[in-house]
Amino acid sequence: MTYAISAQGLAKNFGPVKAVKRVDLAVRPGEIYGFLGRNGAGKTTTIRMLLGLIRPNAGTVRLLGSSLREDRAGVLAKVGCLVESAAAYPNLTVRENLEIQRRLTRSPAAAVAEVMGLLKLEDFADRRAGRLSLGNKQRLSLARALLHRPKLLILDEPANGLDPAGIVEVRGLLRRLADEEGVTVFMSSHLLDEVEQLADRVGIVHEGVLVEEVDRAELRRGSRVAIEVAAEDAAAAGDALAAAGIQTLGLAPVAEDLESHFLRKTGGQS
Ligand code: ATP
């Protein structure tokens, strides 16, 4: 299978800061992949590497089967992205910003009106981008990502700034694009609820490492099982239960919802 995103051994340091230590990704065509992690986990850095905006210290990336290094223009023509750095021109209107994007991507004349319809931006078409509310700025960013009808969308925190109704709307839009047009969506979020509702698969990133992937079937089940061990010395128990000859006082499976699971995997309280 040609993966929509294939990344191996990605790592990135900023001086002494190891922002990404080890991330491997194999995102299947047509799936919605939620890249979930707490603030500072390394999501944005990973996305910037995927898009070739920064050079990894280690690792390789292929998007839609091709390497960005070998065919940057060809690959990016099929990819839509939303990243912080790619802000709209504040003094140009919504329509003008989209018109620029349309020319850059050589999209048909109708694409601007179409995408404004998709993101419900028609009422703001003649407003300067710099004067938009946070939520409508985000809609404009999404519109720019979608305008050329890419096969792959890479979105950093797409729900940022949207109100609850906007979040539901964008969620519906991404689901439709995946289901009806086979678009692959890779989206990052620090909100468990958001990815849980939308993603076919969730990758949990913690301190620069992809620590786990959970698929839709598991997400739908809503709970997974952990083994709770009651031992005299709980700290030592984790290391080498049997080998250390620790006397266990109890061993019981405990149902765990995704939220507790996520918190446990990322070192939070549950
Ligand atoms: P958030 O949800 O807060 O956006 P994130 O998961 O996207 O977090 P990153 O932005 O990738 O996390 O940051 C990962 C780590 O790398 C953080 O500790 C951050 O401070 C650090 N970092 C990111 N970019 C730089 C940079 N240009 N220079 C130095 N450190 C950086």
45 Cβ closer than 6 Å to some ligand 1 atom: yes
| pTM for the structure as a whole | 0.84
Q: Which of 13, 20, 22, 45 to mutate to test the pocket of ligand 1 (most atoms within 8 A of CB)?
A: 45
- Dump pLDDT digits (tens) for 238-269: 777 677 676 666 666 665 666 777 777 777 64
Token pair listed for 139: 């809609």
- Mapped onto helix, strand or coil, the DSSP state of residue 215 is strand
Give the model confidence (pLDDT) of 122-136 as tens digits: 999 999 999 998 889
Q: How far is CA 80 from the centre of its chain?
A: 13
Integer Cα distance of 4 and 21 in angstroms: 22
**Residue nearest (by alpha carbon) to ligand 1 atom 2:** 39
Ligand 1 contact via 17 beta carbon (within 6 Å): yes
Note down pLDDT in tens along the chain; length 270 residues: 899 999 999 999 999 999 999 999 999 999 999 999 999 999 999 999 999 999 999 999 999 999 988 888 889 889 999 997 667 899 999 999 999 999 999 999 999 999 999 999 999 999 999 999 888 999 999 999 999 999 999 999 999 888 898 899 899 999 999 999 999 999 999 988 888 889 999 999 999 999 989 887 776 665 555 666 666 666 666 777 677 676 666 666 665 666 777 777 777 644
Closest CA to 68 of 184, 78, 58, 148: 78
End-to-end CA distance of the chain: 38
The reply to whether ligand 1 has any atom less than 6 angstroms from the CB of 19 is yes
Tell me, what DSSP letter sits at residue 208? T
Ligand 1 centroid from CA 17, angstroms: 9
Task: Output the residue whose Cα is nearest ligand 1's atom 1.
Answer: 39
